[in-house]
Amino acid sequence: PRLMQSLGDDLRVYQTSTIEDKYRFIFIDGLWIHIKEIDIKKRPVLFALGITKDGRQEIISFKLANGETEEEYASFLNDLYRRGLKGKMLELIIQDGSRAISAAVNMVYPYTPRQRCYTHKLRNLIHNIRYKIKHRARLMKQAGNIYKATSRQEAIKRFRLFVRRWRNLEPRAVKCFQDEFYHTLNFYDFPKEIRSTISTTNHLERFLEEIRRRIKIQGYFKNERSLKLWIFVLI
């Protein structure tokens, strides 16, 4: 009990203390986890991972939410802002294709460019291919090659060629790929040596994958408090 009380005190400090406005990049995503309270149900935990000017990675904060909604993400980001993360050093926010995250970012950090994770973009493209056996291999190779371009201009050139080749054969897939495509190219505004770090949400996803791996052993959490303390210990 004494250890749990001490952890609880440390968690309160972590979730309420001032945040130093030192992050160059922020990654935002959520993870759904089972909580057994009244009945087994899933709740999302929202995470923000920051990278500083000197390349250090830190989980800035997390929040147990009621859903991955615009309201919940806006509340989460507003809390970061209120605690000191004004975004004066912030150059890019990296996210998946969630409309809720996009809307919340536009509300709280309206002048910070968004990088839409191109890995998620390609995954969504796969789901929208109609003739998978016939087209999938060629289509996905050509789409993937867009992001191997050495410059934004070359990537756009490859994208336009891709659209011309496939829009009549796979209209739904191409329409999906065109949606917010230009937000997947913002990593090209940075030096080559850091592009792989900021072009996808992989850095945060690796941390979330570690949580998923450990949850398989845990199964579920008894209540909200045990979940929050468990994540805090991992961080």
Alpha carbon distances (Å) from 111 to 49, 93, 151, 183, 195: 19, 10, 23, 14, 20
| Count of other CB atoms within 10 angstroms of residue 229 | 17
The whole-angstrom separation of Cα 61 and Cα 104 is 16
Contact 45, 227 (CB under 8 A): yes
Task: List the chain residues with pLDDT less than 70.
Answer: 1, 38-40
């891709």: which residue's tokens?
162
The whole-angstrom separation of Cα 163 and Cα 14 is 47
The whole-angstrom separation of Cα 156 and Cα 162 is 10
Q: Are strands 39-52 and 23-37 parallel, antiparallel or unpaired?
A: antiparallel
- For residue 45, report the phi and psi dihedrals to the nearest 5 degrees: -110, 125
pLDDT digits (tens, 9 = 90+) for 33-48: 888 876 667 899 999 9
Strand order in the sheet with 23-37: 57-64, 39-52, 23-37, 92-95, 114-116
Res 68: pLDDT: 95
């570690």: which residue's tokens?
210
CA 41, 46, 51: angle at the middle one, nearest 5? Answer: 155
Q: Would you state the structure tokens that stand for residue 44, as one six-digit string?
A: 């999302």
